A and B are shown apart, each in its own frame.
Chain A
């Protein structure tokens, strides 16, 4: 068993929101206490609907923002803002939108060399170019792409460039924030294959953020299901997809469309929508949409309990 590279415990992030200038600022809990461990060569997927705190989690792990509560340990170092500058090399991120995340005025070579220019001051220009060219080949682009601009590439190729840029500083952890949801199916499979190959070759740890369960099922090792700032279920992929125990996970799995018109359809229809994070109900956040909710659910927040298969529910399935 290898040592986990990322350990997060009780990670939380609150934002203050002003609501008119006379009223008191309100606190929005974007992330309210999430624990996980991530090992090299493994993929941890975080799934949930919009507004559940997936992207906030990504911002904390990549050290873009400081957690309000909880501790984060990456590669044996306790993360505080004073060590951010040194630790940021270890974690890289690939964003969802390959059209918005590349500077249109930089050539691909420049895009890839910029992390080296900033972080490897002593590296010569020739070495930087050699490193960038090697990376271009590794992500399946052609050598002549070195001098081109982002607009000359298709969505899939741009996502390859974004992955290449993320890998320039030899990170150990890669945060993938919906890396394939902007791509077409035929291109999506190319990028997923590339990520699988790179993980094998470089022993990377992936934090894979997605709302697409069929991609998660294919790609992940472990899965965290989130609902309104909290983890509601955490298990290995096989366990979660076969025997989900939280009603929300079960509903999420059952509403995901399957590409099989003759398969059984047992859809659990959830009424209503995600409550606003400004005004979270007392007790279990899912109680208002849950078909198993009782009076007890509306009173106290259930904790994430269990050993391998953790679930935060008073009446698990």
Chain B
């Protein structure tokens, strides 16, 4: 039984100008102790799909899925009360902006102990000991006195550690990290990523890392799922993905990285991600794809087999054979 299993998840938002599909038929499978990275540009639906799993989307969102289960429990049919007993405990999330995700009115100690009181039913002294232990674990120096500080009294890196400590407070089985290091400097980023991986190893939890940074993916992930405009376009183990991307979007994205550049002028992907009103009929990447033809513009592609990275493309074979140059 997989820890997290999602089949054909779609999320639509009711906006003033009509329905907008933010996530379009995404599949995710995650085993215990596994590290999956979801990469994509802004608007690719990577955060929204995980917020749907957590049940944190606003009422304007309509979630449909063939299957969305956590440890075999169906998350689509669950009551709000049951959901509250799972999220924050077995399934936890770290958000991108530590400064705006913590409550500025309460001390960080209060905020971390709140979860321990509600989910674990610990008494005051045990809660305090556990909070100190958690702060030590995430590398906050002088833990006991730091419990009494407010978020604005600490730096971004320290606040992000508090967020992580809160997320792992109840020993979750699944941790979703949504751009955990984007707001931080590189030397702090390295500390936070090492910490997440160490926790994954120690507690054998499943870790979903949402990011847009290919460098972070390359250095931390095991399996990578690439999303574009709400769809999963490719999924491969990390080494294979960087060595041999199958989908034209993935390969274009990788060659647009400055560190892979061979000349002063970088290869680019023309155009922009499709919005609400210019969603193509067929393949969503077709207006920007160098290989696109009539078929791509008309018919939506179906995913290839796992040996071709489940690439969502009509022409994987032809591109491989070099026929579409």
Query: Which of A's residues lie within 8 Å of B, judged by CB?
Result: 49-50, 154, 156, 184-190, 192-193, 196-197, 211, 213-215, 217-219, 251-252, 255-263, 265, 267, 269-270, 273-274
Q: Lowest 5 CB-CB distances: which A-B pairs, in order?
A: A257-B215, A218-B258, A184-B41, A49-B185, A189-B266
Asked if B325 lies at the interface with its beta carbon under 8 angstroms from chain A, I say no
Chain A residues with CB below 8 A from B155, complex form: 273
Does the CB pair B253–A185 fall under 8 Å? Answer: yes
Chain B residues with CB below 8 A from A186, complex form: 41, 252-253, 256, 268-269
| Chain B 38-82 interface 0/1 with A at a Cβ cutoff of 8 Å (1 = within) | 000110000000000000000000000000000000000000000
A211 in contact with B190 given A196-B265, A261-B219, A273-B157 (CB within 8 Å): no
Which chain A residue shows the least CB distance to B215? Answer: A257
A143 to chain B, nearest CB (A): 18
Which chain B residue shows the least CB distance to A155? Answer: B42
Considering the chains assembled together, what is the distance between the CA atoms of A156 and B41 in angstroms?
Answer: 13
Does the CB pair A251–B219 fall under 8 Å? Answer: no
Partner of A189 from B212, B242, B258, B272 at Cβ < 8 Å: B258
Q: Taking each of A188, A189, A219, which has the highest tally of chain B beta carbons within 10 Å of its own beta carbon?
A: A189
Partner of A258 from B218, B253, B267, B268 at Cβ < 8 Å: B218
Does the CB pair B215–A259 fall under 8 Å? Answer: yes
Does the CB pair A187–B259 fall under 8 Å? Answer: no
Considering the chains assembled together, what is the distance between the CA atoms of A156 and B270 in angstroms?
Answer: 11
Considering the chains assembled together, what is the distance between the CA atoms of A160 and B190 in angstroms?
Answer: 32
Which chain A residue shows the least CB distance to B194? Answer: A269
A253 to chain B, nearest CB (A): 9
Partner of A261 from B239, B264, B270 at Cβ < 8 Å: B239
Cβ-Cβ contact count across A and B, 8 Å cutoff? 113
A98 to chain B, nearest CB (A): 13
Chain B residues with CB below 8 A from A189, complex form: 256-258, 266-269
Chain A residues with CB below 8 A from B270, complex form: 190
Q: What are 24 of the A-B contact pairs (CB < 8 Å)?
A: A184-B42, A185-B212, A185-B253, A186-B252, A188-B256, A189-B258, A189-B268, A190-B270, A192-B258, A192-B266, A193-B265, A196-B264, A211-B186, A214-B257, A252-B187, A255-B189, A258-B219, A259-B215, A259-B254, A259-B260, A260-B218, A262-B243, A269-B194, A273-B157
Does the CB pair A185–B256 fall under 8 Å? Answer: yes
Which chain B residue shows the least CB distance to A289? Answer: B187
Does the CB pair A256–B257 fall under 8 Å? Answer: no
B243-300: which have CB < 8 Å to A? 243, 252-254, 256-261, 264-270, 272-273
Query: Which of B's residues lie within 8 Å of A, judged by CB?
Result: 41-42, 155, 157-158, 185-191, 194, 212-219, 221, 238-239, 242-243, 252-254, 256-261, 264-270, 272-273
Partner of B214 from A154, A218, A259 at Cβ < 8 Å: A259
Considering the chains assembled together, what is the distance between the CA atoms of A211 and B257 in angstroms?
Answer: 15
Considering the chains assembled together, what is the distance between the CA atoms of A38 and B185 in angstroms?
Answer: 27
Chain B residues with CB below 8 A from A260, complex form: 218, 242
Chain A residues with CB below 8 A from B265, complex form: 193, 196-197
Chain B residues with CB below 8 A from A261, complex form: 218-219, 221, 238-239, 242
Does the CB pair A255–B187 fall under 8 Å? Answer: yes
Chain A residues with CB below 8 A from B239, complex form: 261-262
Does the CB pair B185–A211 fall under 8 Å? Answer: yes
Does the CB pair A259–B194 fall under 8 Å? Answer: no
Chain A residues with CB below 8 A from B221, complex form: 261
Does the CB pair A49–B256 fall under 8 Å? Answer: no
A190 in contact with B268 given A184-B41, A255-B189 (CB within 8 Å): yes
Which chain A residue shows the least CB distance to B242? Answer: A261
A278 to chain B, nearest CB (A): 13
